[in-house]
Structure 1
Amino acid sequence: MSTTPVTLYFDATCPFAWVTSRWIKEVEAVRDIDVTFAPMSLAVLNEGKDIPAEYATKMEAAWGPALVAAAVYTKEPEKVDAFYTALGTRIHDHGEGGREGEGAYDDLITEVLEEVGLSTDYAAAAHSRGDDPEAWEPTLRSYQSTAIAKVGDDVGTPVVELDGRAFFGPVLTRVPRGEEAGKIFDAAVTLGSYEHFFELKKSRTEDPSAE
């Protein structure tokens, strides 16, 4: 069988992207896939929207991890998996997420960069906003535009591209393991291969957890 290319566009602060990404990591062990993790941004996605004040402050905090991810992806794309895994583990599995306000994740970002062997110089990207040629915000916005162009505006994160066909989701609240992960992946690829398939959805009754 041929290798299936998979691209998962993530925001490190999103619990749904985290669960889906851990499913993809499970799939790596049981299927022949070539995975790319690429940044997108909940902060950009929610710009101009009428969102609760508390969520708005969380979006301010989300800029930092997304900007650093954009810098790492641009310069050392092969390290994004390790960076995202380490940061996501701290945010979602160790309960260090849900932070509010600009710079809220600065300490975690620096610690994770050191943990995975990346230069801590990347941490400066967390505050690299604006249109300055040295800023990373335009680059992050370009990655966001790439993800959204594949699926349309009425979606969130994650965006997953399976063998050339992209969708919002799958939205999972638990991580399928082993062969179960593989079977769900096979089903997603099959649905995605039909050019007229667009949506399969039901109301969610529980919060996501990667346990």
Structure 2
Amino acid sequence: MSDTPDTPETTGTAGTTETAGTADTVDFWFDPLCPWAWITSRWITEVARRRPLTVRWHEMSLALLNSGSDMSEERRRMLDLYWGPVRVVAAARQTHGDEVVGPLYTAMGHRFHAADGIFAPVRSASEDDWQAVMTEAMGGAGAVVEAALAELGLPAALAREADEHKWDEALRASHARVPSDGLGQQLIGVPTISVNGRAAQFGPVLSEIPRGERAERLWEAFRTLATDPGFFELKQCTGRPEPMTVP
């Protein structure tokens, strides 16, 4: 269920990390269901294959971030379904350690976003229909979670944690660990990335997965901006393209 092979991932808790030589540490906040976060995460894993880079994975719930927002009933029904997979990630972290988070995200993500993943119908849905198609596709999320747990040899019982509200506090705590350099935290969404413990950035939001030297060039550009104390924001003045989660 993979578009390209992924390398082993490391994970941990966020905190300031000094750059040693050319080595860098990336703290990456994700929601397993977000295609934009998936694209950026595969870019980061590609960079980590090519240069010394430690990636620490952290769960961020889009359902939690949007819980106080005004939205259509259709969008609310869709976001209510987002709670399950990220709760399972939080439960897996607490019961089996930080090191399972990256591999579990990868195992879930391929089943959601790859060419034969359950979100394949969403990629061809019209702008008017995509929320309804997404909600329908989410009916397969439970099977995705179960298969991902089985792939990693994690207990099948963890899938039941998808309905447990007790993990929502763990998700809030994960959100709270996003660094802001003392400027006051304002979370936007996923992907959210901190480089070497500096204030986190929303993005980069990429419409396709960069590979090879292109991935490295984009990393150098992003790293330069993300670690400069004067950098605040960069956003393109165009409409948002479709997320190309598969080649």
Give the TM-score of the pair, scaled to structure 2.
0.77
1:210 is matched with which residue?
A: 245
2:176 is matched with which residue?
A: 145
| Selected match of 1:79 from 93, 97, 100 | 100
Contact 1:8 1:159 in 2 (8 A): yes
Quickly say closer, same or farther: Cα 1:47–1:14, change in 2 above 3 A. same
- Deviation by residue 1:31-87 (Cα, 9 ceiling, x = unmatched): 210011110100000012112222211211110011011112233211111111111
Determine if the alignment matches structure 1 residue 27 to structure 2 residue 27: no
Output aligned runs, 1:1-211, within 5 Å: 1-74=21-94, 75-93=96-114, 94-97=116-119, 98-99=134-135, 105-129=141-165, 135-147=166-178, 152-153=185-186, 155-165=188-198, 166-202=200-236, 203-211=238-246
- Counterpart-to-counterpart distance in 2, 1:118 and 1:152: 34
Quickly say closer, same or farther: Cα 1:191–1:78, change in 2 above 3 A. same
Aligned length: 206
Contact 1:60 1:102 in 2 (8 A): no
Unmatched segments (≥5 aa) in structure 1 = 130-134
Contact 1:57 1:100 in 2 (8 A): no
- Counterpart-to-counterpart distance in 2, 1:55 and 1:145: 25
- Counterpart-to-counterpart distance in 2, 1:148 and 1:42: 18
SS of the residue 1:136 aligns to? helix
Quickly say closer, same or farther: Cα 1:99–1:176, change in 2 above 3 A. same
Contact 2:118 2:140 in 1 (8 A): no
Contact 1:103 1:127 in 2 (8 A): no
Partner amino acid, structure 1, of 2:52: D
- Counterpart-to-counterpart distance in 1, 2:240 and 2:214: 21
- Deviation by residue 1:123-145 (Cα, 9 ceiling, x = unmatched): 1211111xxxxx21211121123
1:132 is matched with which residue?
A: none
Offset at residue 113 of structure 1 (A): 0.3
SS of the residue 1:183 aligns to? helix
Aligned CA-pair RMSD:
2.1
- Counterpart-to-counterpart distance in 2, 1:42 and 1:148: 18
Quickly say closer, same or farther: Cα 1:156–1:51, change in 2 above 3 A. same
SS of the residue 1:48 aligns to? coil
Offset at residue 103 of structure 1 (A): 7.5
- Counterpart-to-counterpart distance in 1, 2:153 and 2:201: 32
- Counterpart-to-counterpart distance in 1, 2:174 and 2:45: 22
Percent sequence identity over matched residues? 36
- Counterpart-to-counterpart distance in 1, 2:219 and 2:160: 37
- Counterpart-to-counterpart distance in 2, 1:140 and 1:100: 25
Offset at residue 148 of structure 1 (A): 7.6
- Deviation by residue 1:163-206 (Cα, 9 ceiling, x = unmatched): 12210000001011011111111111111121110111113441
